[in-house]
Amino acid sequence: MHRDTIEFQRTYTGECQCGCIVYEINEQPIMLYACHCTDCQKQSASAFGLSLWVPRKAFSLITGEPRFWQTQAESGSSKLCAFCESCGSRIYHTEDHQSPVLSIKAGLVSGARYLRPVAHLWLRSAQPWVVIDTDDCLAFEKGVDDYAELIKRWQQSEQKIGERRRNR
């Protein structure tokens, strides 16, 4: 597929590592950020987590059913973690089964490489070799209480992509 076609796609699909769980995202995501907190390093078994916020109603399972375990977020609020019981891939986090937003673990999303994080959180626990281009995105030593700035920034970059597309 041509790069531009992927970059401007409006439906995303995701698949766990073993393929038991396949899902679709049918609306434009709310935003994407990278989180370098120690919890995200554990859940991703890597250097940082990628959180792609999408409306719950935009998420539909095509095959499989995730399992859940519950933990606490940095803020003290409860966090429900969906994962594949066969391969252990983390699918998404959410506050509870009713919460309107899912934080999709974006490494499973096909075409995710064309989604750019608008911010990096918890840089104080980032791996020392991680280098952030602060001209390009927001950078925070800790977490943020209010995600409005991040969402606004995401919408602005989406708009720019839309304009570029129209001007072609």
Work out how close the CB of 125 gets to Zn ion at its nearest, in angstroms, rounded to a whole number: 9
Question: 87, 113, 156, 165: which one contacts Zn ion (CB under 5 A)?
Answer: 87
In this structure, what token pair is assigned to residue 22?
A: 């396949």
Residue whose CB is less far from Zn ion, 29 or 103: 103
Is the distance from CB of 37 to CB of 143 less than 8 angstroms?
Answer: yes
Q: Which of residues 7-36 bind Zn ion (CB under 5 A)?
A: 16, 18, 20, 35
Using the rule CB under 5 A, is 86 a contact of Zn ion? yes
Using the rule CB under 5 A, is 73 a contact of Zn ion? no
Work out how close the CB of 56 gets to Zn ion at its nearest, in angstroms, rounded to a whole number: 20
Helices (H) then strands (E): counts for the chain: 3, 11
According to the 3-state scheme, what is the secondary structure of 46-69?
Answer: CCCEEEEEEEHHHEEEEECCCEEE
Cα torsion through 108, 40, 25, 149, rounded to 10: -140
Q: How far apart are the two ends of the chain, measured CA to CA in Å? A: 19
In this structure, what token pair is assigned to residue 154?
A: 């995401």
Work out how close the CB of 139 gets to Zn ion at its nearest, in angstroms, rounded to a whole number: 14
Residue whose CB is less far from Zn ion, 37 or 126: 37
Window contacting Zn ion (CB under 5 A); options: 23-31, 79-87, 129-137, 151-159: 79-87
Q: How many residues bind Zn ion (CB under 5 A)?
A: 9
Interacting residues toward Zn ion by CB under 5 A: 16, 18, 20, 35, 37, 40, 84, 86-87
